Structure 1
Amino acid sequence: MAAFNLTPSDPSTFILNGIPGLEAAHIWISIPFSTIYIISMLGNFMVLFVVSKEQTLHKPMFLLLCMLALTDIGLSTCVVPKALCIFWLNSKSITVDGCLTQTFFLNAVAVMHSAVLVIMAFDRYIAICDPLRYTTILTNARITKLGLVGLIRAVLLILPMPLLLQRLPFCGKSIIPHTYCEHIAVVKISCGDTRVNRTYSLVISFVIIGSDLTLIGLSYGLIIRAVLRISSKRTHQKALNTCTAHICVMLMSYTTNLFSALTHRFGQGIAAHVHILLANLYLLVPPMLNPIIYGVKTKELREKVGKYTCRM
């Protein structure tokens, strides 16, 4: 990728400042950061390992769990290693290409994560509303194709972000008050016209979240309609219980994402360190909790994880 239009004194790097105002506490902040990251990696890799090893789990639902685990690993890994370098080693510099790459992959993985949640909602809709045709409609091959469509969408929609950043001029010291190259944080330090960048970022955020939430809402609307037509309360409860884990993961992901995005753009009255902590928690906490939620709520997965854990 081409370099930014930077000043002659420092043509190839940006400075990531960490969490402004809390520099003295960086070491202490690194403790929950690293702990959450380790738990997240263990949980998500355990899901991938167990599903890959157990032939009985080679089903569409568990293939989707693997996709979710991969996006969770990607979200955390895009951010935490560099953040810990800042906290532990005071290594704040990042190359221009590194900043562009981090911006692209972070946003692309987030969009892919949202696509996986939509496919999961479709999976729950078919499982409850058309259970007799579930195995014929949702095959592993079809789930893989839907995942590829989500990946292509993510790449096509996010690729313009780093390309648009290349055209911006940066004057003086290029210091980013953040732990990672968050797109709007990079845009804010430019001394040029950033209207195109801000508009594209905002439109893409609302289009992706709006369309995905609409599809998820439509799926659950049809699910609720189907459940209400069933007279048995026990069947009601059983049907809704199959959706509990997905609803928890979805609410956690979209709520933290929207809150972080809106406060970063419009929350001028909120302290900078609160912005940064919220942006990091959105990328750290859901990836840690998602495998725990599905491990608790999914009996087959829980039993298989227990089997391998007891062997250790």
Structure 2
Amino acid sequence: MTILNFTGVSHKVFYLLGIPGLQDQHMWISIPFFISYVTAVLGNSLLISIVLTRRSLHEPMYFFLCMLAGTDIVLSTTTVPRALAIFWFGAGEISLDCCITQLFWIHCTFISESGILLVMAFDRYIAIYYPLRYTTILTQTLIGKIGLSIFLRSCATVSPMIFLLKRLTFCQNNIIPHTVCEHIGLAKYACNDIRVNIWYGLFVLIVTVVLDLVLIFVSYLLILRAVFHMPSEDARHKALNTCGSHVCVIILFYGPGIFTSLTQRFGRHIPPHIHILLANVCLLAPPMLNPIIYGIKTKQIRDEMAHVLCAGKSDLGI
């Protein structure tokens, strides 16, 4: 492929470089990527299967967990196969339309996951404040409407990015030092003024992910206030235990993103490949570890997983 790097031509093809400066290590880097992808797809698929097939798990908490698992599968599938193609075959060439499609789904699933984590905090709030009315408040109809609203919010906020990118003329260097396409990462190669893209990207971040995080924090303040007003220590421990998995997933989702943002802003002397590796951690870690966290810390899911695995062994005659 001829890499265009002169001005005056609007690029229709870009080239994803992978991990800049570590191209000779791509084969080794691909190993954790591949393991994380297989773990994410199998773990989340198993989680969805268990929740949908076990009537004992047909509760709001587990339906929201299914939404989270489905989002994780989409996020992993949108990012990792393309990265593996770069690492294994040097297949970094990507058309402008494919690049925009990929970044749309990355941003859309990322915002959806943030919304699902917010709803799961609301779910824990209802379960602790109104335990007797829990299933009557969060009916399956309402859960379906909540899931649809999360998806529509993501699409509605990310879709304008497509039009903001389509209006640009990409006539600068078309080599993208990354494993995936992202909004500003692509827009900065345009010859046009991209201030609208920058401000809109910041607006989307504030009204979705940042707002979700603030509301999650408020929800847990209310949850803690309710828990510490419970009469018995056993009841307090049980209530906090139901929130443990969710808190771990929240830290796993928001923690790397906040750390990456800080390093990009203040870590000017950090090598570019470190920034790219940290960005990939934000995409790889949550989908891989979420089903493991819920499988370990949630007794009902742990018991059902053990039952499925034991049944599988008996079928194989092990």
Q: Same fold judged by TM-score > 0.5? A: yes
Unaligned runs of 5+ in 1: 1-5
Q: CA deviation at 1:287?
A: 0.9
* Paired position in structure 2 for 1:308: 308
> Which segments of 5 or more consecutive residues in structure 2 lack a partner in the other structure?
1-5, 313-318
Distance in 2, matches of 1:283 and 1:301, equals 24
Q: CA deviation at 1:147?
A: 1.0
| Residue in 1 that maps onto 2:316 | none
Partner of 1:149: 149
The 1-side partners of 2:207 and 2:169 are apart by 28
Aligned partners of 1:158, 1:50: CA distance in 2, in Å?
A: 32
Distance in 2 between residues matched to 1:37 and 1:217, nearest whole Å: 30
CA contact (8 A) 2:172 2:190 kept: no
What is the correspondence of 1:1-312 to structure 2 with a 5 Å cutoff?
Answer: 11-264=11-264, 267-312=267-312
Could you list the per-position Cα deviations for residues 196-246 of structure 1 after superposition, in whole angstroms to 9, with x for gaps in the alignment? Answer: 111111221122122111221221111111111113112111110110000
Whole-Å Cα distance in 2 between the matches of residues 194 and 141 of structure 1?
42
State how far apart, in whole Å, the 2-side matches of 1:112 and 1:148 are: 10
Q: Are the equivalent residues in 2 in contact too, given 1:78–1:106 (CA < 8 A)?
A: yes
TM-score normalised by L of structure 2? 0.92
Using a 3 Å threshold, how does the CA distance of structure 1 residues 207 and 9 change in structure 2: closer, same or farther? closer
Aligned residue type for 2:91: S
Q: Quick check: 1:47–1:69 contact (8 Å CA) kept in 2?
A: yes
Q: Shift in Å at residue 190 of structure 1?
A: 2.1
Once the two structures are superposed, residues 282-309 of structure 1 have per-residue CA deviations (whole angstroms, 9 ceiling, x without a partner) of 1101111100111111111111111111
- Rounded to whole Å, the distance in 2 between the matches of 1:169 and 1:266 is 30
Residues 45-101 of structure 1: CA distance to partner in whole angstroms, max 9, x if unpaired?
100111121122222111111100011111111110000000000001001110010
The CA distance in 1 between the partners of 2:10 and 2:124, in whole Å, is 52
Secondary structure at the aligned position of 2:306 is classed as helix
User: Matches of 2:293 and 2:34 in 1, distance apart?
Assistant: 20
TM-score between the two structures when normalised by the length of structure 1: 0.94
8 Å Cα contact 1:103/1:162 also seen in 2: no
Distance 1:265 1:308 in 2: 46
User: Identical aligned pairs, as a percentage?
Assistant: 50
Partner of 1:15, secondary structure, is strand
Indicate conservation of the 8 Å contact 2:249/2:286, yes or no.
yes
Structure 2: distance between partners of 1:264 and 1:252: 19
* Equivalent-residue separation in structure 2 for 1:152 and 1:56 (angstroms): 30
Distance change (3 Å), C-alpha of 1:157 and 1:229: same
Q: Secondary structure at the match of 2:15?
A: strand
Match in the other structure for 1:3: none
Conservation of the 8 A alpha-carbon contact between 2:8 and 2:171 = no
Shift of 1:7: 6.8
Distance 1:8 1:191, change over 3 A: closer
Instruction: Render the CA deviation track for 1:166-206: whole Å, top value 9, x for unaligned.
Output: 12222244111100102221122223211111111122112
Cα RMSD of the aligned pairs, angstroms, is 1.7
Change (3 A) 1:266 1:203: farther
The code of the aligned residue for 1:35 comes to I
For the 8 Å contact 1:17–1:179, the answer to whether it is kept is yes
Distance 1:245 1:227, change over 3 A: same
Query: Aligned partners of 2:254 and 2:34: how far apart in 1?
Result: 23
1:9 and 1:215 mapped to 2: Cα distance? 46
Kept in 2, the 8 Å contact 1:118–1:212? The answer is yes
2-structure distance, mates of 1:26, 1:82: 13
- After TM superposition, the structure 1 stretch with the greater mean CA deviation from structure 2, 239-248 or 256-265, is 256-265
Q: Which amino acid aligns with 1:109?
A: T
Residues 9-39 of structure 1, C-alpha deviations (whole Å, 9 max, x = no match)? 6743111011100011000100111011111
**Distance in 1 of aligned mates of 2:248 and 2:294:** 10
Alignment length (residue pairs): 307
